[in-house]
Amino acid sequence: MRPGITDLASIKYRDEAAVLALADDPHAQYVQHVLPEKIELAKEYIRRSSLPLDLSIIVTTIVIIVRDRIGRRKCDAVVGKTPESDPP
């Protein structure tokens, strides 16, 4: 199966760096928990592979990206941060 732009694991672990940053041992957390789950999600995709599933994954990814950007803008507005105030 060729890799794509997004997949079930990309959606589930979109905040993987933040999750691992909270772990006492990020490497162990990744090897023991995250990686096995990603492998299972890849197997699930292979079992369920279809155009409707692909479309669902793409739409879900787009919705998450848009929602996160809107949320970030709202948060920035609350603290008075503007794109111009960001350091280069």
> Residue 66 domain-assigned?
yes
42 and 55: one domain? no
Q: Which domain holds residue 65?
A: 50-81
pLDDT value at position 69?
A: 85
Which segments in the chain show pLDDT lower than 50?
Answer: none
Based on the fold, state whether residues 11 and 40 are members of the same structural domain. yes
* Count of CA atoms in the C-beta half-sphere (13 A) of 81: 9
54 and 33 within one domain? no
> Which are the contacts of 1, defined by CB distance < 8 A and separation ≥ 6?
42, 45, 46, 49
Provide the pLDDT for residue 3: 64
| 74 and 60 in a common domain | yes
Q: How many domains does the chain have?
A: 2
Let me know: does 29 contact 23? Beta carbons within 8 Å.
Answer: yes
Whether residue 56 is found in the same domain as residue 45? no
In a domain, 88, yes or no: no
